[in-house]
Homo-oligomer: A and B are copies of this chain.
């Protein structure tokens, strides 16, 4: 009953602010007063399972977004290529504005197949995080200002529906607080980012005129671990590889033949040790040669970041870090990560055998101006130099007998990294407006460690790209129990409002 009354109060307040906003109300005041409305919208979005496995869910989500945009006066349309999930595009020009800004986000979520969720991924649950095992809370009945540490759990709540909710809420806040956008607004919300955006380049190319703009803001990815509102100016590219090393045709008794028949697990270990040292430095000649070094503006931005290393070290339970640099600097370098390695058996599965093969999985993280082809070429040249014979399929007997070291490489597609120069006028304008909107210095990240295919936009559009993340870094991205921290949503609304109403360059 109380909850019902409180809900009614919020609704009235919202209606009041929407129809006749007090002229002095700030964006922050608006969202304080409209928390329930904002969360309801996210809740509604999460309940619609817009994942690759559910084309109807993707369609339904696109239609719901078209409706949300239309009722705000935007001119929406759906873009697609080759029957792809629809891109929700919409525009709203601002009279007198000289700049056009596109807000990118994606409304599709990761699959929900992997691992165990504490609750249905499509029935959002708010949880109070203060206790060691978070407790579900009824936010609708809570009333007043909600605990900003509460988190809403559900697939795509953080990645990436939060960005869409922040955009819509920020626009509502601008209107309600009597302000006007300072730029022409565009939205570009795609529906297959989690599937690798296979049609994105085609859609961008086919709609180049429509998408002409001065800036793209990429509303995806996590904010800095300090929880400071953040911008990122680039992201590393990625290139995956499965490598398989061959031993005897079948496993052999390692008592009878160990020490004489080469063991592929040992060979894999030696090769990995040859590839990178204990500080993460890549030992493959030429692989990192093309990497663009951080400039003075990048270094200054990194120096100004809140120090989070000690907190992370404690929360990860690690006794050292690789390299002597902080996290943000280490991310500016190319990386060679071992995602997995497998050979024979361990523990209860251990047999006294030389395994027939050993395989391992690498992902290379690329920085500008490394290329996928360049990394592949350096790696394969390094293998040849070390005496490896490279094959693309399982080797036949003749190949095995001819070559002392045979390795099969299965490259994944991969894509390069990208960085927008921090010192450009547009970059400085975005940094300034974001700081003003946040009311404090923001975290300016020259590069995200993770990969976002910014190269696709850059390759087609040749327009500056800047990352505008909202989600907490600990959002359980791509994993079970994805969640969005409420304060991140509030900060995101402020930032989006700043990007709509405060940008001028």
State the A residues within 8 Å of B (CB): 222, 236, 238, 240, 242, 247-249, 252-263, 265-274, 276, 278, 280, 313-323, 327, 330-331, 333, 335, 337-347, 349-355, 358-361, 363, 365, 397, 400-406, 448-451, 473, 477-478
Assess A361 versus B337: contact at CB under 8 Å? Given A319-B406, A330-B260: no
Asked if B273 contacts A322 (CB within 8 A), the reply is no
Query: What's the Cα separation between A236 and B320 when bound, in Å?
Result: 40
Chain A interface secondary structure, helix, strand, loop or mixed? mixed
Asked if A347 contacts B327 (CB within 8 A), the reply is no
Q: How far is the CB of A271 from chain B (nearest CB, A)?
A: 8
Q: Which residues from chain B contact A349 at a C-beta distance below 8 Å?
A: 340
Q: How far is the CB of A79 from chain B (nearest CB, A)?
A: 28
Query: What's the Cα separation between A17 and B93 when bound, in Å?
Result: 110
Q: Which residues from chain B contact A236 at a C-beta distance below 8 Å?
A: 255
Q: How far is the CB of A128 from chain B (nearest CB, A)?
A: 21
Interface centre among A317, A359, A397, A400 (most CB of B within 10 A): A317
A404: which of B320, B359, B403 is its contact (CB, 8 Å)? B320
Closest to A319 in B: B404
Query: What's the Cα separation between A280 and B354 when bound, in Å?
Result: 13
Give 14 pairs: A residue, B residue, CB < 8 Å, sorted on A.
A247-B318, A248-B316, A252-B316, A256-B448, A259-B365, A261-B322, A263-B337, A268-B269, A269-B341, A270-B272, A314-B401, A339-B344, A339-B355, A341-B344
Q: How far is the CB of A481 from chain B (nearest CB, A)?
A: 12
Q: How far is the CB of A291 from chain B (nearest CB, A)?
A: 12
Asked if B339 contacts A342 (CB within 8 A), the reply is no
Q: Which residues from chain B contact A406 at a C-beta distance below 8 Å?
A: 319
Nearest 6 interchain pairs by C-beta = A340-B344, A255-B450, A320-B404, A269-B272, A273-B273, A258-B337
Asked if B313 contacts A365 (CB within 8 A), the reply is no
Asked if B449 contacts A255 (CB within 8 A), the reply is yes
A335: which of B259, B314, B340, B403 is its contact (CB, 8 Å)? B259
Assess A261 versus B316: contact at CB under 8 Å? Given A337-B354, A341-B341: yes
Asked if B339 contacts A359 (CB within 8 A), the reply is no
Q: Which residues from chain B contact A340 at a C-beta distance below 8 Å?
A: 265, 343-346, 349-351, 355
Q: Which residues from chain B contact A337 at a C-beta distance below 8 Å?
A: 254, 258-259, 263, 352, 354
A313: which of B271, B338, B401, B473 is its contact (CB, 8 Å)? B401
Query: What's the Cα separation between A242 and B259 when bound, in Å?
Result: 19
15 other A-B residue contacts (CB within 8 Å) besides A258-B280, A342-B345: A236-B255, A249-B315, A255-B365, A258-B337, A261-B318, A263-B338, A268-B269, A317-B397, A318-B401, A319-B400, A337-B354, A339-B346, A339-B350, A340-B345, A342-B342
